[in-house]
Amino acid sequence: MTDSLTVAEAFAAIPLAAVCCDAEFGSDEARVIREQLLSRQPFRAMEPYAFGLLFSGLLKRYRESSWQALIAAAAPQLQLEHKETAYALACQLIHCDRSISAAERQFLAALAAELGLEAGRASQIHEVCELLNRDCLMSAT
């Protein structure tokens, strides 16, 4: 697999890898990944068919290799601001079900390293996503 990814494909590959890292693709994750990507350019401007093709191509790449290969192919195509936002989106997806597995923790560590994010910055992003997804009022009802 030597084809390089476009910037849009690379950006979308990061959250896709996040939902694939533990081999469980739940409905919450599917909803969040779709909402988050379709709220951003260039995805917002894509026809549904084109968006589906983009995802089909990324899923094919994932199946032919691994999430590790997917993020390794994506990282060089992204600028720092893309990397930070893609990492935040991956964190959001992992936290959206309020349960974080060991595989997901390993994924986030590997992703931060692959993207070249400073440890402090990655921790900040992770902490914010954790806070946003905390179900803090559950015990108050």
Give the rounded distance of the alpha carbon of 90 from its chain centre. Answer: 3
In angstroms, rounded to a whole number, what is the distance separating the alpha carbons of residues 29 and 95? 9
Per residue of the chain (141 residues), give pLDDT as tens: 457 999 999 999 999 999 888 776 667 677 888 898 999 999 999 999 999 999 899 999 999 999 999 999 999 999 999 999 999 999 988 887 777 889 899 999 999 999 999 999 999 998 998 888 776 666 665
Residue ranges of the domains in the chain?
7-140
The DSSP code for 46 is S
* Fold for the domain defined by 7-140: TerB-like (1.10.3680)
Return phi, psi of residue 137, to 5°: -90, 0
